[in-house]
Structure 1
């Protein structure tokens, strides 16, 4: 059945970066570097940008900063690629407020992480997402990442939510290809299924996922774009050829809590300053050699 959200469904695909939020050494948001990162990502072929996701340190930005960064993304991107705004929270009213502000700013889609820490039951998850969808008329994407939230959106709950018109996609960061394939079979005709796990994303695309929301794409956007553009064409030989050069980064960029290693890598590349928010800290020196070697292996000088 056709809905008013069909256009955005066709655009949520390929290599989609969960962009870091660059900061100055005192922790304030560095909007000059953010503009540069956005331009670089688009020039390198990234298909969609995610503003203030987990990698963007959503947990430590104030609500005002959160909305300000999303608005900056939209205004700077100027429609060149879709902007997906991270607006999830474990407080439904807060999530509605952030999602409404993202809609008002002109974001193309809202990314809503499963409510973390308070461990709602499946009915609570359903009612949470339903309430946000009914309150804000913007395309919305579920985000299931039980490794961080300690709550898992069941397939049954996703199937129920897929009946809501403006819930258009899900970011599946479970890392299970078998589970992702079941999800695609169950709801793939109603919502876009995307990977949120760099390690398994290419395999999930082989069974029908439309793209990958990536941490690794922060560092190697062109290689990731080439990988997932080829996968979208069904050319998995070309996809693997591009992917093999950089796939080690999927592990190395998680050598410590994300986005600490990614921020260090971007700092070494001259892309950002040395800024991060507590309780995260700058990457420990003992890990520098691992990231330095990973960059060389990925042909980044």
Structure 2
């Protein structure tokens, strides 16, 4: 399975809100150059709710085409309906995604058995390795026993822990999981401790901006150098907070423009308050990211 820092890639858009496919291709190349482990395409960070099926299909197609087997592309199957999720699974199969991401439904509360069936059915339909996710702040949270059951499915190879409580990591690491099943940290702020505890990777939003530093963090955790890893993590905490201040990924888009990674469009990303620009600039400079 995929081990390392997986980038929850943003989706740059044009002024009318449509995906900017050319800039997505630029970002794919940039992440290849900077050694990112893998890219998630069309996740909540990429605002799939604002895209129709054709746009999500083209977004995934262009990302896979641009990656050209140089970096794994993970297709997010998140959708308001199960039928649409099956459509997206077909798209992932057709274009050759390396893996798919399946998130627990959010439209209503499901029983544990219904959640298990949801994940197993979509994973089987995807025909490629599946990573599953259930956010801790939502109703449909998987119990450890259910994760253990799902891990036995040959088509399910990883679980993203959406909790920031390190005691949950201890519980999950105590489950008898298959050797090729990977646990991933789901939040930048707590990822370091979960990686040190034994997780095999992290799904990161801030890696949109600082993949090199986060890859260094991952290497330190895997080598067991906890002191150096924790020091680097402390160094990055201010950046994590600054990048996640706005739920619409505007700070990340703005930072990438300032870094020269993506072109400034006719409608550049605007932060809510002018003071936020200086806060974000300070955070980027503190992390030694040139702007």
Give the structure-1-normalised TM-score: 0.88
Partners of 1:299 and 1:135 in 2: CA distance: 44
Matched residue SS, 1:234: coil
Partners of 1:119 and 1:206 in 2: CA distance: 33
Q: Report if aligned partners of 1:44, 1:225 keep a CA contact under 8 Å in 2.
A: no
Q: Report if aligned partners of 1:274, 1:282 keep a CA contact under 8 Å in 2.
A: no
Q: Report if aligned partners of 1:27, 1:275 keep a CA contact under 8 Å in 2.
A: no
Larger mean CA deviation between 193-202 and 58-67 belongs to: 58-67
Identify the residue that residue 100 of structure 1 maps to in structure 2.
Answer: 90
Tell whether 2:219 aligns with 1:199. no
Identify the residue that residue 283 of structure 2 maps to in structure 1.
Answer: 294
Partners of 1:184 and 1:92 in 2: CA distance: 30
Aligned residues: 286
Matched residue SS, 1:169: strand
Distance apart, 1:268 and its partner CA? 2.6
Q: Report if aligned partners of 1:23, 1:29 keep a CA contact under 8 Å in 2.
A: yes
Matched residue SS, 1:116: coil
Q: Report if aligned partners of 1:51, 1:85 keep a CA contact under 8 Å in 2.
A: yes
Identify the residue that residue 273 of structure 2 maps to in structure 1.
Answer: 285
Identify the residue that residue 135 of structure 1 maps to in structure 2.
Answer: 125
Which among 10, 13, 17 is matched to residue 23 of structure 1?
13
Distance apart, 1:183 and its partner CA? 1.3
Q: Report if aligned partners of 1:195, 1:209 keep a CA contact under 8 Å in 2.
A: yes
Which among 140, 148, 154 is matched to residue 151 of structure 1?
140
Distance apart, 1:90 and its partner CA? 3.9
Matched residue SS, 1:151: coil
Q: Indicate how the Cα distance of structure 1 residues 240 and 45 shifts in structure 2: closer, same or farther if over 3 A, else same.
A: farther
Partners of 2:81 and 2:26 in 1: CA distance: 33
Which among 263, 270, 290 is matched to residue 253 of structure 2?
263
Q: Indicate how the Cα distance of structure 1 residues 275 and 173 shifts in structure 2: closer, same or farther if over 3 A, else same.
A: farther
Q: Indicate how the Cα distance of structure 1 residues 256 and 150 shifts in structure 2: closer, same or farther if over 3 A, else same.
A: farther
Give the structure-2-normalised TM-score: 0.90
Matched residue SS, 1:245: helix
Tell whether 2:57 aligns with 1:67. yes
The Cα offsets for residues 188-240 of structure 1, whole Å up to 9 and x where unpaired, read as 43521011110111100111101111011111111111111222233333433
Tell whether 2:229 aligns with 1:230. no
Distance apart, 1:241 and its partner CA? 4.2
Q: Indicate how the Cα distance of structure 1 residues 179 and 58 shifts in structure 2: closer, same or farther if over 3 A, else same.
A: same
Q: Report if aligned partners of 1:89, 1:114 keep a CA contact under 8 Å in 2.
A: no
**Two-structure CA RMSD over aligned residues (Å):** 2.0
Matched residue SS, 1:164: coil
Q: Report if aligned partners of 2:236, 2:287 keep a CA contact under 8 Å in 1.
A: yes
Gaps of 5+ in 2: none
* RCO higher in structure (CA 8 A, sep ≥6): 1
Partners of 1:23 and 1:90 in 2: CA distance: 22
Q: Report if aligned partners of 1:19, 1:51 keep a CA contact under 8 Å in 2.
A: yes
The Cα offsets for residues 62-106 of structure 1, whole Å up to 9 and x where unpaired, read as 122112111111111111121111112242222122112112111
Matched residue SS, 1:143: strand
Q: Indicate how the Cα distance of structure 1 residues 283 and 118 shifts in structure 2: closer, same or farther if over 3 A, else same.
A: farther
Instruction: Please identify runs of 4+ aligned residues in structure 1 that moved more than 6 A.
Output: none
Matched residue SS, 2:105: coil
Matched residue SS, 1:45: coil
Distance apart, 1:265 and its partner CA? 1.9
Identify the residue that residue 112 of structure 1 maps to in structure 2.
Answer: 102
